[in-house]
Amino acid sequence: MPDADPDATSVMAPGSMTGTLLDVLQDHVTRSLAEQLTKEFMNSPDFQHLRHPVIHIEARLEERSSKTEREETPHDLLFSHSVDLSEISQQQSSSSQYYNASPFGGGIISHEQQQVAGIILPDDQVLEQSDMQGASGPISPMSLRSSPADSDYESDTSTPTPPVPDNMGRQGLGGLRPARALSIPTETEETSGRQIQSGDKFPKRRALKPPGHSLQPSTLDKLIIGIWEQIYGNVNLEPQGYLDFLHVEAPHPSYGGTVLDMGHVRHGNQYIAQPAAGGSFNRMNTLCRQVTQASRTCRSLEIVVQARWVEYFNEYVDSCALTNPIVPRTKHNKAALSEACFDFGWTEKELRNKMYIWRGYKDIKDAGGWAALVFSGMGIYRFSKYRIGFGEDSMQRLRTLRPLFEVAADTLHPGWRYLLGVVGESTQQVYTEHPHDWVVFLDGSPPVPLQTTYMQWDPDFSYRQVDESIVDQTAWGCDDPRWTPPLDAIIRGAAMPLCEVCGKQQSDDPIQNSCYCFPTLFGCAKTSPSPVLIYHTPNGRNNGVIALCPFERGSPVGEFVGLITKGFQDVDVLESSTRLEKYQIWQGQQGNFTRFVNHSCKANAQYQRFTWLNTQRIILVSKGIEAGAEVTVDYSDKYWRGLDKKCLCGEACCKYK
Ligand SMILES: C[S@@+](CC[C@H](N)C(=O)[O-])C[C@H]1O[C@@H](n2cnc3c(N)ncnc32)[C@H](O)[C@@H]1O
């Protein structure tokens, strides 16, 4: 039995069937009815206007009779039970966002793709990405914040580019390939083929999911998204020093004085912020962060220990049954429960309720691994308690995700396994270096190092993961060709750069910055890595990029970074230009995950120019990416024209197959 729902109330009718059977029945019937009815009606106005919806369910034993007669025979009432629907409806509505969006349950790989044999074709293509010169007009990046104006953005319009001669040889190298351009094209020159187009206009925002109650999610999707959010968030679950704050005395604001030791000075009734460096405000921030982290660490520790406790319980019952096989197992079970109740100081009902949840933790750990447990946050409690969609399918999905959780957890939180020391598990990090130094598989196979996936084409393959582009000094000296002085610089004097899109002041200092066009990349919140991994495509495209969390339409997935160079010929480059210079970005030896983004004829992302602090950047922007989907861009006609390779995007609308 699940633990008692504090929101549920029930009335047992006098003289009714007694005891546990009816208890079980009543709980089961009401909860299942409540869930089904909530699903059915949660979108109806009648339901939505209720601030605190409760469903009241009665059961009675009676002759078939009229309503009037029923009202006259209240003594036949078997049970009467009220269930608070607020929680259920919240759960259902919040998780509906993730419906069909799970990496491996929501259909991320098309049926067609699944059917294709896993033969890896030589990666013999030239990627000469968008000639940015051709793109003009206003750039309209979308901020993460909703704005009514967002709906006015138009969809991407690609500029067709001229064909190229088809007589250029191609080398069998992995990934980035020699391009055929013999010189750097000028604005008016024809450029070589196979160039990815980047649009000037951002896609209109729209909801990721169509509304409608027929699409009900399982809470597994929610659990999985929660795990990814924790892994890719700023949470630090390393136990070292997490109780340090116990030795620090919390600063307190002195409300009576004129000067608050919190970085603010009082003027009349107002507090004016003062530079607070080293002040008690900073100390309070540190304390608060430490306590929050300690609390999360303890919560993770608690779940880990509870899952392990269930294993100990099972083993204990097994060993008792082995020692004394004549006694039925149920008796051993009961005896073990009583012993545990004594040690915990709980009633049997309390312990049974808790065990129901803890068994859920153990099942999740068995399937998704310890990382799933440690980074699950509060979502795991609800999933274990209500168990909507908690079955073999869910466990199978978690099993396939397990290596992905571990790659991300190990590389982003190298110390997380220390928590497992408490239950005697190995604390050894399994996956080291950068998350994108690993290629994961969607069938549960163990991840492999990135370079091994290129060996057959390039035994010397190496790739250095960098967060920022590097200017090739042999090409540009000390200049960055992406930089242009603002046209109105002289008029504005030494004023700070303004965003060409929102018109607001840009600065790397969060206090000075007012531009929130791409807040996770520039200006304020660029602390967390993008929740994507490199994965092995199942249909011969070698590697690709998989989104672990949904990316709202218009939000940035990442920046296209590599070597800022010029004059490269016969190699894959992204060509771009400012009003002063033409330059190339080459990802052959260094860059980030954008180097692994494949083409699709129905792309869910696109490259977009954006100027930050007078320096042009190329951003990979979502057109609406679901969790678990491969991130793709449209390489454009220019890229595919004259190419002796077929597109394997698998879309019905594929133009290059
Ligand atoms: C920028 S790389 C993308 C990452 C690449 N799949 C890898 O494993 O290195 C571009 C190359 O990927 C392959 N590719 C990308 N999209 C493709 C598609 N839709 N169909 C076939 N091959 C594709 C082509 O070989 C292309 O030259």
- Determine contact, residues 280/248, Cβ cutoff 8 Å: no
- Structural tokens at position 105: 């349950």
The residue ranges of every structural domain in the chain are 9-88
Chain mean pLDDT for the chain: 73
Query: What is the pLDDT, as a whole number, of residue 48?
Result: 64
Q: In this structure, which residue's CA is closest to atom 8 in ligand 1?
A: 543
Q: What separation in angstroms does the CA of 216 have from each of 96, 229, 574, 627? A: 6, 22, 42, 16
Q: In angstroms, what is the span from residue 637 Cα to ligand 1's centroid? A: 15
**Rounded CA separation 193/168 (Å):** 11
**Residues in Cβ contact with 465 at an 8 Å cutoff, skipping those fewer than 6 apart:** 434, 436, 437, 590, 591, 592
Say if ligand 1 is within 6 A of residue 598 CB: yes
- Determine contact, residues 449/437, Cβ cutoff 8 Å: yes
Query: What is the pLDDT, as a whole number, of residue 472?
Result: 97
- The verdict on pTM exceeding 0.90 is no
| Range scoring the smallest mean pLDDT among 66-70, 75-79, 526-530, 601-605 | 66-70
**Rounded CA separation 104/349 (Å):** 37
3-state secondary structure of 79: strand
Residue 71 pLDDT more than 50? no
Residue of higher predicted confidence among 570 and 205: 570
Q: In angstroms, what is the span from residue 175 Cα to ligand 1's centroid? A: 7
Say if ligand 1 is within 6 A of residue 636 CB: no
Percent of the chain at pLDDT exceeding 90: 48
ipTM for this model: 1.00
Q: In angstroms, what is the span from residue 469 Cα to ligand 1's centroid? A: 22
Q: Report which DSSP code applies to 483.
A: B
Atom from ligand 1 closest to the CA of residue 635: 16
- Read off the pLDDT of residues 481-538 as tens digits, 9 standing for 90 and up: 999 988 766 565 657 899 999 999 999 988 899 999 998 899 876 668 999 999 999 9
Say if ligand 1 is within 6 A of residue 450 CB: no
Say if ligand 1 is within 6 A of residue 573 CB: no
| Range scoring the smallest mean pLDDT among 224-238, 535-549, 588-602 | 224-238
Closest CA to 413 of 436, 429, 437: 429
Per-position DSSP letters for 153-197, written without gaps between them: PPPP-PPP-----S-------SSS-----SS---SSS---S----
Q: What separation in angstroms does the CA of 558 have from each of 16, 271, 336, 528? A: 64, 39, 53, 11
- Read off the pLDDT of residues 586-614 as tens digits, 9 standing for 90 and up: 999 999 999 999 999 999 999 999 999 99
**Residues in Cβ contact with 234 at an 8 Å cutoff, skipping those fewer than 6 apart:** 527, 528
Atom from ligand 1 closest to the CA of residue 126: 27
Q: What separation in angstroms does the CA of 143 have from each of 199, 557, 610, 618, 642? A: 17, 12, 12, 15, 38
Say if ligand 1 is within 6 A of residue 194 CB: no
Say if ligand 1 is within 6 A of residue 524 CB: no
Residue 100 pLDDT more than 90? no
Task: Identify the top-confidence range among 66-75, 159-168, 565-574.
Answer: 565-574
- Structural tokens at position 316: 């204990």
Name the packing angle between helices 348-374 and 379-386 (round to 10°). Answer: 130
Say if ligand 1 is within 6 A of residue 543 CB: yes
Q: In this structure, which residue's CA is closest to atom 13 in ligand 1?
A: 541
Q: In angstroms, what is the span from residue 114 Cα to ligand 1's centroid? A: 17
Question: Three-class SS string for 100-114?
Answer: CCCCCCCCCCCHHHH
Residue 30 pLDDT more than 80? no
Q: In this structure, which residue's CA is closest to atom 26 in ligand 1?
A: 125
Which residues on adjacent β-strands are paired with residue 438?
Answer: 449
**Rounded CA separation 480/429 (Å):** 39
Query: What is the pLDDT, as a whole number, of residue 219?
Result: 80
Say if ligand 1 is within 6 A of residue 174 CB: yes
Residue 279 pLDDT more than 70? yes
Atom from ligand 1 closest to the CA of residue 124: 25
Burial 281-291 (b: 16+ CB within 10 A, else e): bebbeebeebe
Work out the pLDDT band at 236, boundaries 50, 70, 90. confident
Atom from ligand 1 closest to the CA of residue 587: 1
Residue of higher predicted confidence among 327 and 171: 327
Residue of higher predicted confidence among 137 and 246: 246
Query: What is the pLDDT, as a whole number, of residue 292?
Result: 86
CB burial class (10 A; 0-12, 13-18, 19+) of residue 83? buried
Q: In angstroms, what is the span from residue 598 Cα to ligand 1's centroid? A: 5
Q: In angstroms, what is the span from residue 121 Cα to ligand 1's centroid? A: 10
Q: In this structure, which residue's CA is closest to atom 23 in ligand 1?
A: 541
Closest CA to 632 of 564, 518, 563, 537: 537
**Residues in Cβ contact with 497 at an 8 Å cutoff, skipping those fewer than 6 apart:** 486, 505, 506, 507, 613, 614
| Range scoring the smallest mean pLDDT among 122-136, 293-307, 335-349, 364-378 | 122-136
Work out the pLDDT band at 573, boundaries 50, 70, 90. confident
Query: What is the pLDDT, as a whole number, of residue 40?
Result: 66
Q: In angstroms, what is the span from residue 128 Cα to ligand 1's centroid? A: 12
Residue of higher predicted confidence among 63 and 128: 63
**Rounded CA separation 587/291 (Å):** 42
Query: What is the pLDDT, as a whole number, of residue 572?
Result: 79
Q: Considering just the CA atoms, what is the radius of gyration of the chain in Å?
A: 30
CB burial class (10 A; 0-12, 13-18, 19+) of residue 656? middle
Instruction: Compute the average pLDDT of residues 33-48.
Output: 66
Residue 465 pLDDT more than 90? yes
Residue 467 pLDDT more than 60? yes
Q: In angstroms, what is the span from residue 102 Cα to ligand 1's centroid? A: 24
- Structural tokens at position 400: 């396939």
Q: How far is CA 17 from the centre of its chain?
A: 49
Atom from ligand 1 closest to the CA of residue 649: 19
Instruction: Compute the average pLDDT of residues 372-397.
Output: 91
Work out the pLDDT band at 636, boundaries 50, 70, 90. confident
- Read off the pLDDT of residues 284-334 as tens digits, 9 standing for 90 and up: 888 888 888 888 899 999 999 999 999 999 999 999 999 999 999 999 999
Closest CA to 238 of 63, 418, 68, 53: 418
> Which of 176, 598, 645, 655 most suits a substitution to test ligand 1, by most atoms within 8 Å of the C-beta?
598
| Range scoring the smallest mean pLDDT among 186-190, 275-279, 372-376 | 186-190
| Range scoring the smallest mean pLDDT among 77-86, 128-137, 178-187, 358-367 | 178-187
End-to-end CA distance of the chain: 55
